[in-house]
């Protein structure tokens, strides 16, 4: 008995060290803590070992955080920056590793959030920068409260199911039949969740200690001999957890689908209209933010001229900001705006627009590299040439490739080309290696705007937006109208045939021979050569797709969904 | 040109500031280029020797050469340049310039990204050598005849024929001119091919090129130069033995980037030539970016440039940050607003508070008096700089040889320590003084001699006395030598006495006596002198190494905005996103968003709520659940007074908002559509919150 007593007391003494001297609260905390601990001591020894291990880990983490902080401090971060780029958080806090979570946690958090904001003390430890800037006393207070909370939470663990918030239960009890099944699911789930949660809470508990420890001046001497072992252990844990989360092919989410919801899928247009009705939240604050950024315009201009290029990052669309920069300062100079988010953009088109529009060069190039060389030569020859290049979303799908970035970097390294670009993706900086970075010669500017990404997301094929095909429809009609009557007839035939077979999921398309036969019967073509010529034209406009089957037969298919095709045929009938 | 003028609201002298900034920067730039040239000189000389040696062998056709011919070895220089790839460009540029001037006009610089295949490599090579663009058939599929023609044009044999024609031309055409040129170039200058980044070339291309050119080495005096960033081992890893045996490799090592940086710091920062100075934090940031991120001197200089620009842009008084000769004129042409700016400087306020009341009033009200005073203070500042640098170097002479280097090995560390706060109050300084008190005589003497050299070569005028004092110490040390021999005799005799006694009791007694005497004994003269020297150095440090922040008007010369610098050079986009999503109140100063600890309020922007909810999920996220959770939160935020009639409408709007937020998260790279299960998206970040 004496030995566990010893370890326990030592743990308690640790506790004393980092909890500040706020008398009353401390007593409460200690009492609750010991109670829980006593319970556990009776439970089993292995459980205690587990806790101890966690504690060790937390010690180690504290060490790491301390080191990280040191590093950050040497880099000269000051928390007092009033405008506040929120970059004074150490990396480990941002995307740390943690246990996997269950889907019902989301609903739980939602209901928690739905309550009044004062009450929401979610077990969440990302410390906002505001907090860090506060006096140490208050933050210690906060920590302590969190500690108490977590302990209470732990002790209440037994009746976890009943803590499912009222609002959620009400929702679950809604009359819809599919929701009924959902409630069953969550009930069954909560059973196994119990254990999981306990573990999580333990982690909460231990992670609570870490910041306190870093603050305490008298940290216990680092157990160096032990720390290595602990580190290995920790690594092992992390790896295990990672694979635990990723190996199981079983997906622990509910089986509900959007189709079961009564809601129809919205298409792009209705979405826009609906969003127009929704007022933009915090418009005044966003305007303030934008004004702050706009005051930097002249500085940007200066720095561009001094050979730097500027990259903007931060949450929110930076399109309007760049547009404003363009309209206010670049009206009289040659500039090129590249909408990187546009799905059809390529480096080639950027280079083309430089050679054709800016340099007035007529002619083609064998490769983008040749084109780049030509541009570089021209700009070096003529020092009076100046070009501002604005790229919205330099990190978009089409431009993020290695080769495109290399070309853009080389372009931007020209002294008379001024590049100002924006990035949004969280991994965007990974595009650039040292060589490219030095070519780009970036100056980073944080421009968090919180404006919605209206333009940028409008091209994305979001899951929730119905693939409206309105674009395809209009292009179909446009192309078809420019064709001969016979060609239109040929396309109609194909479309009709495809619609007839729309119930067959494995429909491969119409074989060329059959199609030729049908066209001949309709007096649309007189030889298979004319038909082939016609099909080539369709193919060039991406109206049809050809595929060779297993037997070597050519199959023709219109790559448009059925509803669009139906619409198209209806429209055609109206016109005729 | 564009200048600071656009910011005309409060600041003055913008034009002058801009001009000053530009001229200062140009000076600094040319200085750095000069430094680099000097550092590379050794390397280039060695290379040059190598080239001329290999060339003379080729021409003389000695027996050694013939035997080399048999093995078809290509002379190759492996240039180990270090990992700071970004700095290599300038090295290569100066290399090719020097080669052009001294050895050969035929130089080709090849980069891996231009040479994905042997054909491209040959094209590039010939294009550069013949100084014209070889247009290899713009339309490749035109006809086969042309293609083959072009292929002929880009082969080794055509290169050789070109080389022969070129060398013959110079031989035959103008003998007089030839002689002229031969003074610079040899008769048959070698063709130098430089592979800038050898590691990134594909092995096949390299091997092919080497094998092919080794076949022709007797017709074409080829010399290869490999630029290597990692280690020379890479040659053997890239090339099999059969290929590498065709090369006759000699290794060259360039100056390490750390040395380069030290020289830059030495020449740019620890000098009174430039009025502009870096503050402690800023210097720390720059050095840390160098040490922890890229080892790139280029980037360090870029950071320095940014500092210069920022300083002159943001500090209206930086107009006074100029050479001492111009100060007077500029001070007297200051406007009233600028005078007010001076009065607003914190260091100036501190200065005023220390003055007597009459002077205080004068300083605060009388512009011309203020100008006079400012001029005096600025002169003081300049003098301070001159003294500071010399004494810093002296101190470095002492600290850099101490065991464990309590104050750092490099002078830059010492410089940072001195800038940060009063260095004599730090523990490290204390311990280094302790250690200095234990130095032996020879070390001490050489150090003192070094200090004398530094002080006499420095431009400061105050050091005459100091030098004298140090010289006095030196002579005292020399005098000691004579006395020392006598002292040794005494100790020897006592030792002898000790040996005589064999009786245990007496031995103990004498030992005790000896011990007693040693404890109470006066320090030897040498020890006393050593103490004196160290104390003197200490007094010098206390007098001259005052941190710059304590000096009045230091704001004019020192750039201290480390946060700005770090934000621009070493930004953390992920952290910014994280803060914006987790704590929107940081950016949007609205009371509704404020909440305690970690959590976010339900009135936060949509994307924040959606993000927060998605953090609670595992690998896959069910969109229906997500939507429901979202609407729960949003409905609660929007006061549950919405009547049933409009609820359907509201639902649609919430749905639309949800869609927008989700696609925004997709754009930001947090999620992506997944086909694993219907209506699910996959999370792309692991962990979170």
**Each residue's pLDDT tens digit, A368-407:** 888 998 899 899 988 888 999 999 999 888 888 888 999 9
Residue A312 has pLDDT above 90, yes or no: yes
- Statement to judge: residues B204 and B292 lie in one domain: no
On whether both A337 and A436 belong to a single domain, the answer is: yes
Predicted pLDDT at B15: 84
Neighbours of B555 (CB within 10 A): 24
Both B546 and B653 in one domain: the answer is: no
Q: Is residue B496 part of a domain?
A: no
Residue range A280-298, pLDDT digits in tens: 778 888 899 999 999 999 8
Residue A226 pLDDT exceeds 60: no
Query: B105 and B74 share a domain?
Result: yes
Residue with the two structure tokens 């620009």:
B309
Q: Are B298 and B327 found together in one domain?
A: yes
| Interface mutation vs chain A, best among B11, B300, B574, most A CBs within 10 Å | B574
Task: Give the angle B465-B470-B471 at the CA atoms, nearest 5°.
Answer: 95
pLDDT of residue B639: 63
Q: In terms of Cα–Cα distance, which of B660, B677, B672, B667 is closest to B622?
A: B677
A251 found inside a domain: no
Does the distance separating the beta carbons of B580 and A87 come in below 8 Å? Answer: no
Q: Report if residue A527 sits inside a domain.
A: yes
| Window 66-85 of A, Cβ < 8 Å to B | 71, 74-78, 81, 84-85
Q: Span A311-316, mean pLDDT?
A: 92
- Blockwise average pLDDT, block size 10, chain B, 689 residues: 48 80 92 90 89 73 56 83 83 87 84 83 83 44 39 71 77 42 57 89 90 83 89 88 88 89 91 89 93 89 93 89 88 88 91 90 89 91 90 90 86 90 89 88 89 84 84 87 63 57 75 75 78 90 89 90 90 88 85 68 85 84 86 78 56 83 88 78 69
Closest chain A residue by Cα to residue B594: A117
> Which residue, among B681, B684, B668, B682, has the nearest Cα to B580 in the 3D structure?
B668
CB B624 within 8 A of CB A261: yes
Query: pLDDT at position B281, please?
Result: 92
Per-residue DSSP letter, B162: H
Instruction: Note whether B324 and B390 are same-domain residues.
Output: yes
Q: In what order do the strands lie in the sheet with A510-511?
A: A510-511, A554-557, A545-548
Contact B599 A464 (CB under 8 A): no
Please check whether residues B531 and B622 belong to one and the same domain: no
Cβ contact B574–A96 (<8 Å): no
Q: Are residues B332 and B478 in the same domain?
A: yes
Within a domain: B58: yes
Q: How many domains, chain B?
A: 3
Kindly list the residues from chain B whose CB atom is less than 8 angstroms away from the CB atom of residue A120.
595, 599, 601-602
pLDDT tens digits for range A425-447: 998 999 998 888 989 999 999 99
Cα A364 to Cα A361: distance, rounded to the nearest angstrom:
9
pLDDT tens sequence across A333-348: 899 999 988 877 888 8
Domain for residue B311, yes or no? yes
Same domain? B655 vs B547: no
- Per-residue pLDDT tens digits for A76-85: 343 334 344 4
Residues 246-285 of A with CB under 8 A from B: 246, 251-261, 263, 266, 270-271, 274-275, 277-278, 281-282, 285
Q: Is B506 helix (H, G, I), strand (E, B) or coil?
A: helix
CB spacing of B663 vs A457 below 8 angstroms: yes
Question: Does one domain contain both A427 and A484?
Answer: no
SS (H, E, C) B528-597: HHHHHHHHHHHHHHHHHCCCHHHCCCHHHHEECCHHHHHHHHCCCHHHHHHHHHHCHHHCCCCHHHCCCC
Q: Does residue B166 belong to any structural domain of this protein?
A: no
Best probe of the A interface among B7, B614, B616, by most A CBs < 10 A, is B616
Residue A478 lies in a domain: yes
B6 to chain A: which residues are within 8 Å by CB? Answer: 298, 301-302
Residue of chain B with shortest Cα separation from A386: B1
A487 and A436 within one domain: no
Query: Is B561 in the A-facing interface, judged by CB distances under 8 Å?
Result: no
CATH code at position A489:
1.10.10.10
Judge: A305–B2 Cβ closer than 8 Å, yes or no: yes
Tell me: do B317 and B412 sit in the same domain: yes
- Whether residue B221 is found in the same domain as residue B302: no
If you write DSSP's letter for every residue of A90-127 in order, what string do you get? -HHHHS-------HHHHHHHHHHHHS-GGG---S----
Does A43 fall in a domain?
no
Q: Which of A446, A478, A495 is the last residue of a domain?
A: A446
How many C-beta atoms surround the C-beta of residue B535 within 10 A?
Answer: 12
On whether both A569 and A441 belong to a single domain, the answer is no
pLDDT at A391: 94
Contact residues, B window 260-319, toward A, CB-based 8 Å cutoff: 281-282, 284-285, 288-289, 292, 294, 296, 298-299, 302, 305-306, 309, 313
**Tally of domains in chain A:** 2
| Dist. CA A206–CA A59, nearest whole Å | 9
- Name A382's Cβ contacts closer than 8 Å, sequence gap at least 6: none
Is the CB of B117 inside 8 Å of chain A's CB atoms?
no
**What are the chain B neighbours of A266 within 8 Å (beta carbons)?**
652, 655-656, 659
Residues A430 and A357 in one domain: yes
Dihedral sign of CA atoms A90, A95, A97, A103 in order: positive
With respect to residue A395, please indicate whether it lies within any of the assigned structural domains: yes
Query: Both A293 and A435 in a single domain?
Result: yes
Q: Which residue has the higher pLDDT, A46 or B218?
A: B218
User: A431 and A476 in one domain?
Assistant: no
Answer whether residue B500 is part of any domain: no
Contacts of A333 in chain B (CB under 8 A): none
pLDDT category of residue A463 using cuts at 50, 70 and 90: low
Higher pLDDT, A208 or B120: B120
Q: Are residues A432 and A486 in the same domain?
A: no
Alpha-carbon distance A127 to nearest alpha carbon in chain B (angstroms)? 6
Q: B387 is in which domain, residue-wise?
A: 260-482+522-559
- Residue A334's SS3 state is coil
B642 at interface of A, judged by CB pairs closer than 8 A: no
Cβ distance B33 to B205 under 8 Å?
Answer: no
Comparison of pLDDT for A47 and A279, the residue scoring more:
A279
DSSP state of B20: H
Residue A168: name the closest of A115, A100, A102, A101 by CA. A115
Of A10, A14, A15, the residue nearest A30 (C-alpha): A15
Query: What pLDDT score does A111 carry?
Result: 74
Please count the residue pairs, one from chain A and one from chain B, whose beta carbons lie less than 8 angstroms apart: 367
- Does B669 sit within 8 Å of A425, measured CB to CB? yes
Residues A436 and A484 grouped into a single domain: no
Here the tokens at position A324 are: 């404003």
Q: Do B569 and A95 touch (CB under 8 A)?
A: no
Using a CB-CB distance cutoff of 8 angstroms, which residues of chain A are in contact with residue B313? 299, 302
pLDDT in tens, A506-517: 777 888 888 899
Answer yes or no: do B526 and B669 share one domain: no
B622 with A256: Cβ contact below 8 A? yes
Out of B85, B606, B686, name the one closest to residue A97 (CB).
B686
DSSP 8-class letter at B461: S
Nearest to B543 by CA among B649, B642, B476, B460: B460
Q: Is B197 helix (H, G, I), strand (E, B) or coil?
A: coil
Q: For residues A558 and A494, is the Cβ–Cβ distance under 8 A?
A: yes
Domain boundary among A415, A446, A477: A446
Does pLDDT of A322 surpass 90? Answer: yes
Residue A5: which pLDDT band, with cuts at 50, 70 and 90?
Answer: very low
**Chain B CB within 8 Å of residue A397 CB:** no
**DSSP-based three-state secondary structure for A251:** coil
Q: What is the pLDDT of residue A208?
A: 39
Q: Cβ-count burial of B495 within 10 angstroms (0-12 exposed, 13-18 middle, 19+ buried)?
A: exposed
In a domain, B423, yes or no: yes
In chain B, residues with a C-beta closer than 8 Å to the C-beta of A207 are none
- 3-state helix vs strand vs coil in chain B, percent to 5: 70, 5, 25
Q: Give the end of a domain, one of A412, A446, A480.
A: A446
Q: Do B625 and A76 touch (CB under 8 A)?
A: no
Q: In which residue are the tokens 């969280």 written?
A: A426
Torsion of CA A167, A169, A170, A173, to 10 degrees: 160
Q: Which of B540, B543, B552, B558 is nearest to B380 (CA)?
A: B552
CATH number for the domain that contains residue A409:
3.40.50.300
- Counted residue by residue, chain A has a size of 576
Distance from CA of A41 to the nearest CA of B (A): 31
Q: With an 8 Å Cβ cutoff, is A427 touching chain B?
A: yes
Q: Residues A442, A473: one domain?
A: no
Taking CB atoms and an 8 Å limit, are B613 and A126 in contact across chains? Answer: no
Cβ pair B586:A128 closer than 8 A: yes
- CA B568 to chain A, closest CA, distance in angstroms equals 4
List CB contacts (< 8 A) between A108 and chain B.
Answer: 616
Q: Estimate to the nearest angstrom the gap between the alpha carbon of A523 and the chain centroid.
A: 55
Q: Are residues A345 and A312 in the same domain?
A: yes
Chain B contact for A86, CB < 8 A?
yes
**Residue A53 forms part of a structural domain:** no
Domain that holds residue A492: 469-575
Question: Which residues are within 8 A (CB) of A572 and not within 5 positions of it... i.e. 6 or more apart?
Answer: A480, A488, A492
Amino acid A49: pLDDT: 47
- In this prediction, residue A15 carries a pLDDT of 42
Global confidence as pTM:
0.72
Percentage helix, strand, coil for chain A under 3-state DSSP, each rounded to 5: 60, 5, 30
The beta-carbon neighbor of B571 closest among A87, A285, A453 is A87
Sign of CA dihedral A151, A155, A161, A164: negative
Which of A103, A122, A125 has the CB atom closest to B625's CB atom? A103
Helical spans, DSSP H, in A19-173: 23-43, 45-74, 91-94, 103-114, 129-133, 136-155, 166-172
- Predicted complex ipTM: 0.83
| Phi/psi at A227 (5° precision) | -60, -35
CATH of the domain at B125: 3.40.50
pLDDT, residue B487, reads: 59
Closest CA to B217 of B69, B15, B400, B382: B69
Residues 6+ apart with CB under 8 A from B585: A128, A130, B593, B594, B595
Distance CA A140, CA A25 (A): 12
Residues of B in Cβ contact (< 8 Å) with A117: 595, 599, 601-603
Asked whether residue A198 is assigned to any structural domain, the reply reads no
Concatenated DSSP letters of A430-480? GG--HHHHHHHTEEEEE-------HHHHHTS--SSB----HHHHHHHHHHH
Helix (H) or strand (E) run with residue B353 in it: helix B346-354
Same domain, B250 and B363: no
């Amino acid at each position: 008995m004496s030995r566990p007593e010893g370890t326990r007391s030592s743990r308690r003494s640790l506790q004393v060290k980092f909890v500040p001297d706020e008398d009353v609260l401390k007593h409460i905390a200690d009492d609750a803590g010991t109670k829980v601990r006593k319970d556990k001591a009776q439970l089993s020894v292995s459980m205690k070992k587990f806790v101890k291990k966690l504690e060790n880990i937390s010690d180690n983490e504290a060490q790491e955080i301390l080191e990280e902080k040191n590093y950050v401090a040497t880099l000269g971060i000051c928390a007092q920056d009033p405008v506040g780029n929120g970059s004074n958080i150490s990396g480990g806090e941002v995307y740390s590793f943690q246990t996997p979570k269950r889907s019902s946690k989301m609903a739980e958090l939602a209901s928690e959030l739905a309550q009044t904001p004062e009450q929401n003390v979610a077990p969440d430890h990302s410390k906002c920068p505001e907090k860090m800037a506060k006096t140490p006393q208050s933050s210690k207070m906060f920590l302590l409260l969190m500690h108490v909370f977590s302990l209470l939470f732990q002790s209440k663990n037994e009746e976890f199911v009943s803590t499912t918030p009222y609002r959620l239960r009400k929702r679950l009890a809604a009359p819809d039949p599919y929701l009924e099944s959902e409630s069953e699911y969550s009930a069954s789930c909560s059973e196994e969740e119990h254990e999981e949660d306990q573990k999580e809470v333990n982690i909460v508990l231990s992670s609570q200690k870490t910041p306190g420890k870093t603050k305490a001046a008298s940290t216990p001497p680092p157990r160096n001999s032990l720390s290595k072992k602990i580190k290995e252990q920790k690594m092992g844990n992390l790896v295990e957890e990672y694979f635990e989360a990723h190996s199981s092919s079983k997906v622990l989410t509910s089986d509900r689908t959007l189709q079961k919801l009564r809601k129809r899928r919205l298409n792009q247009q209705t979405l826009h209209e609906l969003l127009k009705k929704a007022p933009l939240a915090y418009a005044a604050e966003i305007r303030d933010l934008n004004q702050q950024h706009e005051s930097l315009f002249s500085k940007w201009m200066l720095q561009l001229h001094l050979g730097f290029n500027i990259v903007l990052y931060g949450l929110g669309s930076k399109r309007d900001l760049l547009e404003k920069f363009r309209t206010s300062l670049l009206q009289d100079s040659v500039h090129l705006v590249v909408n990187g988010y546009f799905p059809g953009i390529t480096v080639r088109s950027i280079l083309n627009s430089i050679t054709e529009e800016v340099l007035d060069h007529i002619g083609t190039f064998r490769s983008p590299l040749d084109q780049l060389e030509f541009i570089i030569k021209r700009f070096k020859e003529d020092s009076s040439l100046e070009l501002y290049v604005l790229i919205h979303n330099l990190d978009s799908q089409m431009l993020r490739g290695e080769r495109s970035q290399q070309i853009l970097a080389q372009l931007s390294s020209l002294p008379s080309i001024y590049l100002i670009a924006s990035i949004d993706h969280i991994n965007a900086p990974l595009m650039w290696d040292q060589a490219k970075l030095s070519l780009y010669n970036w100056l980073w500017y944080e421009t968090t705007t919180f404006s919605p990404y209206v333009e940028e997301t409008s091209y994305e094929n979001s899951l929730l937006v119905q693939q409206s095909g309105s674009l395809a429809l209009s292009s179909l009609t446009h192309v078809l109208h420019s064709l001969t009557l016979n060609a239109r007839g040929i396309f109609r035939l194909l479309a009709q045939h495809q619609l007839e077979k729309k119930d067959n999921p494995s429909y491969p398309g119409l074989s060329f021979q059959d199609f030729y036969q049908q066209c001949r019967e309709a007096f649309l073509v007189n030889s298979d050569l004319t038909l082939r010529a016609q099909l080539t034209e369709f193919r060039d406009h991406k109206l049809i797709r050809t595929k060779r089957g297993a037997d070597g037969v050519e199959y023709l298919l219109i790559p448009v969904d059925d509803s669009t095709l139906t619409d198209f045929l209806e429209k055609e009938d109206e016109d005729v | 040109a564009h200048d600071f003028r656009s910011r005309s609201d409060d600041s003055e002298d913008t034009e002058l500031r801009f001009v000053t900034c530009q001229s200062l920067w140009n000076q600094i730039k040319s200085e750095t280029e000069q430094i680099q040239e000097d550092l590379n000189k050794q390397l280039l000389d060695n290379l040059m020797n190598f080239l001329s040696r290999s060339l003379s062998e080729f021409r003389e056709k000695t027996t050694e050469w013939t035997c080399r011919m048999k093995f078809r070895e290509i002379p190759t220089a492996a240039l180990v340049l270090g990992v700071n790839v970004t700095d290599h460009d300038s090295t290569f540029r100066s290399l090719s310039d020097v080669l052009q001037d001294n050895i050969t006009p035929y130089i080709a610089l090849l980069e891996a990204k231009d040479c994905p295949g042997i054909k491209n490599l040959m094209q590039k090579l010939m294009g550069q050598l013949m100084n014209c663009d070889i247009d290899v058939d713009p339309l490749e599929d035109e006809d086969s005849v042309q293609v083959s023609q072009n292929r002929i044009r880009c082969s080794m044999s055509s290169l050789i024929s070109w080389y022969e024609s070129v060398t013959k031309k110079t031989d035959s055409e103008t003998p007089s001119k030839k002689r002229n040129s031969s003074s610079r170039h040899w008769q048959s200058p070698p063709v130098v091919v430089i592979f800038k980044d050898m590691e990134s070339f594909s092995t096949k291309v390299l091997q092919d090129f080497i094998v092919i050119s080794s076949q022709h080495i007797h017709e074409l005096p080829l010399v290869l130069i490999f630029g290597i960033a990692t280690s020379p081992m890479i040659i053997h890893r890239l090339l099999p033995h059969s290929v590498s045996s065709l090369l006759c490799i000699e290794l060259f090592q360039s100056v390490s980037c750390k040395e380069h940086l030290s020289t830059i710091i030495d020449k740019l920062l620890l000098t009174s030539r430039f009025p502009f100075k870096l503050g402690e934090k800023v210097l720390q940031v720059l050095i840390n970016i160098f040490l922890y991120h890229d080892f790139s001197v280029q980037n360090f200089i870029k950071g320095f440039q940014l500092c210069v620009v920022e300083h002159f842009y943001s500090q209206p008084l930086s107009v006074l940050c100029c050479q001492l000769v111009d100060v007077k004129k500029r001070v007297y042409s200051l406007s009233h607003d600028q005078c007010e700016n001076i009065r607003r400087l914190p260091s100036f306020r501190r200065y005023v508070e220390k003055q007597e009341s009459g002077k205080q009033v004068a300083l605060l009200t009388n512009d011309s008096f203020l100008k006079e005073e400012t001029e005096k203070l600025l002169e003081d500042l300049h003098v301070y700089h001159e003294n500071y640098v010399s004494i810093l170097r002296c101190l470095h002479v002492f600290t850099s040889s101490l065991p464990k280097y309590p104050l750092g090995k490099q002078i830059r560390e010492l410089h940072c320590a001195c800038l940060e706060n009063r260095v004599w109050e730090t523990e490290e300084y204390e311990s280094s003084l302790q250690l200095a008190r234990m130095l032996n005589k020879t070390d001490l003497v050489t150090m003192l001699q070094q200090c004398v050299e530094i002080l006499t070569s420095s431009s400061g005028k105050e050091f005459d006395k100091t030098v004298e004092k140090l010289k006095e110490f030196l002579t005292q040390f020399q005098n000691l030598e004579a006395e020392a021999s006598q002292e040794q005799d005494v100790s020897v005799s006592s030792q002898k006495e000790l040996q005589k006694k064999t009786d245990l009791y007496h031995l103990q007694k004498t030992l005790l006596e000896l011990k007693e005497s040693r404890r109470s004994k006066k320090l030897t003269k040498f020890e006393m002198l050593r103490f004196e020297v160290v104390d003197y150095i200490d007094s010098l440090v206390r007098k001259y190494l005052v941190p710059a922040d304590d000096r009045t008007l230091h704001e004019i010369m020192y750039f201290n905005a480390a946060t700005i610098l770090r934000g621009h050079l070493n930004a953390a986009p992920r952290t910014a996103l994280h803060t914006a999503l987790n704590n929107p109140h940081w950016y949007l100063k609205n009371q509704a968003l404020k909440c305690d600890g970690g959590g976010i309020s339900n009135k936060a922007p949509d994307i924040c709520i959606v993000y927060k909810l998605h953090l609670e999920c595992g690998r896959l996220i069910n969109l229906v659940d997500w939507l429901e959770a979202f609407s729960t939160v949003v409905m609660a935020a929007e006061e549950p007074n919405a009547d049933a009639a409009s609820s359907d409408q509201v639902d649609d709007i919430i749905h639309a908002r949800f869609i927008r937020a989700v696609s925004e998260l997709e754009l930001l790279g947090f999620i992506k559509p997944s086909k694993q299960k219907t209506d699910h998206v996959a999370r792309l970040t692991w962990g979170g919150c």
